[in-house]
Structure 1
Amino acid sequence: MNKKREFFAFNQQPLAGGTLTNWLTVLAENGFRVHPRYMARFWYITMLTSITSIPKMIERRKYEKDIEKVEAEPVFIVGHFRGGTTYLHYLMSRDANMSYVSTFQTMLPDNYIFMEKFFKKILSDSLPETRPMDDIEMAADNPYEEEYAVANLSPHSFYHGWYFPKKMKEYFDKYVLFNVDKKIVERWKEVYSYVVKKAAYKMGKKRVLLKNPPNTGRIKQLVEMYPDAKFIHLYRNPYKVFSSTMNLYRGIMPLFSLQDYNMEEIEENIFYFYKAMYDKFFKEKHMIKEENYVEIRYEDFVKQPLKTLEHIYSSLQLPHFEKSRERFRRHIASQKDYIPNRHSLDKELKEKIYSHWHETIDRWGYE
């Protein structure tokens, strides 16, 4: 990788693709507490957000009015981190009649139209071939979690807890459970709506496919915004979810964090996040219209992905399955050699997981 492209490695520090105002706001919220060993990251983010500020203003001025006119029709994939949602997200994105938020769009949410030619090539060349936690392919045009874009545009995102882990639980309580003032919730809705509309505007399709684990705890807010949205809930063996989520944090925290962190504390956070998010999900999912909701077991999905996908399209009355069948089939074939990470659990840890998550383990019939 040449030095120019290494310098613009937004994937290493996602906040570097955001706005300077947002970066300073998040810093202030955290008392500017950046550990000395991470000062290089601090200056890198500060420099990059400063550089992108001018093209950002141009892009907003040029496109914002047209973006606001877009009426997006979301299809939400929800479920906990490491529950198999990425595979479904990638697969459904092969439907050419859907828009989605790409990796490039999440990393530079205010600079991906006006500065596309410049930044997209740089980002493409700086991305690793695979994600650090699961060896799934990374590419600028692949679908990605819009939560990164929300975090780059506002302080109202759970992912700021990955950068500032001393407040990780606080960010979760505020921006997944929404234990905040209604004005903050409305501000979050404005930013989220902008991200979704802009993706639809850029790709030219009103129906937008969105995969974002924190949305599992935001059903009430999403239904308020999009009463006719479609929801696909994908769930997986909670024991495997725990091991894989721990692996996720071991992969991203050394890359993203601006503060010291303790993996034992993160483990306790994972137990809390999963339970709190699903408690809220089960409480709110009745708000989704019956015809707009489908629930999928991950283990069934990976055994028969095309059949499961046909069931999803039929249940939600989504069009274009037959038109997209061959593209779906090709993507499934391309993944046949993928080997997921394997994790083992000792008896003590398995008992601990059950003590925290027995509601979902029993509800879904896992052992």
Structure 2
Amino acid sequence: MASGFPWHRVFHPLCGADPLTLAELVVRRGPPSWRGMPAYGVALATALARVPFTLADRVVARRREVRPPVFIVGHPRSGTTHLHNIMAASGAFGTVPPVTATLPWESRTMAPLIRPFIDPFLPETRLIDSVELSPDAPTEDEVGLANLGGLSYFHAIYFPSRFARDYRDGLLGEGPERRVAARRRAIRRYVGAMAGQCGEPLLLKNPAYTATPEMLLELFPGARIVHIRRDPRDVFASTRRMLRRVLGELALQDIGGVDVEAAILETYPRVMARWDAARERVPAAQVAEVAFEEVVEAPEAVLTRLWEALDLPGGAAEMERMRAYLDSVSGYRPSENRLSGEETALLARVWPRQMAGYGAAAGE
């Protein structure tokens, strides 16, 4: 019973944040605009009302060893969601549904209780595109991490007064030592909580992990990482469209001064350079790379290669489930990402290494 009403404008994703995170966002980035004030007020009221469940969650939580997860990484709009959905369809992994991801502070207590009441009102497709969104759809970690506080590129979207800096720092994992340490604690907490609720090994995806794969392996030795790349031209066009869309829907401050293109142009090559440098230091048995275009054209070959390279759980039955999922979405067509000649020339000039790596500099 999906509803066409834009509930996210009333019940903002920050409705899963704690009061301290909500307060810190205002202290660091300024107050919401008049337009954003109602949604912020609802989020704050929700955070205060959830306090008994937050405390109860801490009581029932117990430290436990987490089986090494499988992480899917890649710059935003590189195809991480598509690959996540395919691999999740295997049934070989635990995945985190939308409501549980949004409530990381109460994933063990409140989330199971309210899911039956919220799931029917989830939209049928994602806010940013026409990809199906079901109550059990695997969800990006950053949804929950943004609500746990610390560094998050989602905060640049919610409170865009310092958009370029927060977007860059969130995707690179940079910032004051205190905030970087808080980010590490948030990731450990999130993964531990979700492993207890959603099954193991977890299959997780987050573009914000792309620049910090070594941190993931420090936190979760034995984890495996899948990196997906995409033509930089498509990444630029799709990220630009995505950011404009989500800023218009989820920003709680005025977005008039936000330069989306400049932020993408600066951040993308830095994220990719970080990945390329770190990838050489990650054990070969724990990392694999795929191209989005190959996933689209020859998905079964890509999946077979991934399962063999990373020794992933499952076999013929899991492959058959993924094949059935691929058949179910065979009619989906992503939005066209057309750039002008001037825009392509700009990318060739500011992203020479990434463009050349895809044969894009010569217009191939």
- CA distance in 1 between counterparts of 2:111 and 2:186 reads 21
Residue 349 to residue 285, structure 1, CA distance change in 2 (3 Å): same
Question: 1:165-204, aligned counterparts within 5 Å?
Answer: 165-204=160-199
Paired residue type of 2:156? G
1:39 aligns with 2:37: yes
Q: Distance in 2 between matches of 1:9 and 1:240?
A: 27
1:354 equivalent to 2:352? Answer no
Other-structure match for 1:112: 107
Q: Which residue identity is paired with 2:295?
A: F
For the 8 Å contact 1:130–1:138, the answer to whether it is kept is yes
Structure-2 separation of matches of 1:334 and 1:98:
20
1:1-367 to structure 2, matched below 5 A, reads 9=8, 13-31=12-30, 33-62=31-60, 64-65=61-62, 68-205=63-200, 207-262=201-256, 265-366=259-360, 367=363
Q: Tell me how far apart the structure 1 counterparts of residues 2 and 208 of structure 2 sit (CA, whole Å).
A: 35
Q: What stretches of structure 1 of length at least 5 have no aligned partner?
A: none
1:303–1:278 CA distance, 2 compared to 1 (3 A): same
Cα offset, 1:319, TM superposition? 2.4
Question: Over aligned residue pairs, what C-alpha RMSD do you find?
Answer: 2.3
Partner AA of 1:45 in structure 2: A
**Quick check: 1:72–1:196 contact (8 Å CA) kept in 2?**
no
Deviation, 1:182, is 3.4
Question: For the structure 1 residues 213 and 309, does the alpha-carbon distance in structure 2 shift closer, same or farther, using more than 3 Å as the test?
Answer: same
**1:31-53 per-position Cα deviation (integer Å, ceiling 9, x unaligned):** 3x211222112212112222222
Deviations 1:69-95 (A, max 9, x none): 132312111111111111110111123
Question: Which amino acid counterpart does residue 143 of structure 2 have in structure 1?
Answer: Y
- Report if aligned partners of 2:151, 2:173 keep a CA contact under 8 Å in 1: no
Q: CA deviation at 1:204?
A: 2.9
Distance in 2 of aligned mates of 1:86 and 1:2: 21
Q: TM-score, normalised by structure 1?
A: 0.91
Listed one character per residue, the Cα deviations across residues 154-209 of structure 1 (whole Å, up to 9, x for unaligned) are 1322211111112223224444323334343222111101111111111232x211
Structure 2 runs not aligned, ≥5 long: none
Range with bigger deviation, 209-218 or 278-287:
278-287
What amino acid is aligned across from residue 42 of structure 1 in structure 2? Y
Q: Which amino acid aligns with 1:328?
A: M
Offset at residue 2 of structure 1 (A) = 11
Q: Report if aligned partners of 1:176, 1:218 keep a CA contact under 8 Å in 2.
A: no
List, as ranges, runs of 4+ consecutive aligned residues in structure 1 with deviation greater than 4 Å. 5-12
- CA deviation digits over 1:109-163, x for unaligned, max 9? 1223322354212321232110122200112311111111111111322211111
Following the alignment from structure 2 to structure 1, what is the Cα–Cα distance between the partners of residues 306 and 237? 28
Amino acid at match of 2:229: Y
Deviation at 1:264, TM superposition (A): 6.2
SS across alignment from 1:277: helix
Distance in structure 1 (CA, Å) of the matches to 2:49 and 2:16:
10
Separation of aligned partners in 1, 2:191 and 2:146: 14
Conserved? CA contact 1:81–1:245, under 8 Å: yes
What is the number of equivalent residue pairs in this alignment?
Answer: 361
Does structure 2 retain, via aligned residues, the 8 Å contact 1:228–1:289? no
Partner amino acid, structure 2, of 1:214: A
Q: Deviations over 1:276-319 (max 9, x none)?
A: 21121122111210121111111111111122111111111112
CA contact (8 A) 2:72 2:206 kept: yes
The CA distance in 1 between the partners of 2:139 and 2:350, in whole Å, is 29
- TM-score computed with the length of structure 2 as normaliser: 0.92
2-structure distance, mates of 1:87, 1:231: 16
1:230-276 Cα offsets, whole Å, 9 max, x none, are: 11111111111111111111221111101111476111101112112
Question: How many Å separate the matches in 2 of 1:311 and 1:120?
Answer: 36
Shift of 1:331: 0.3
From the superposition, tell whether residues 166 and 263 of structure 1 become closer, same or farther in structure 2 (CA, over 3 Å): closer
- Measured in 2, the distance between the counterparts of 1:78 and 1:263 equals 30
Structure 1 residues 21 and 7: alpha-carbon distance in aligned structure 2, compared to 1, 3 A threshold: farther
Percent pairwise identity: 25
Rounded Cα–Cα distance in structure 2 between residues aligned with 1:228 and 1:104: 28
Q: What is the one-letter code of the residue matched to 2:23?
A: L
Other structure's SS at 2:337 match? coil
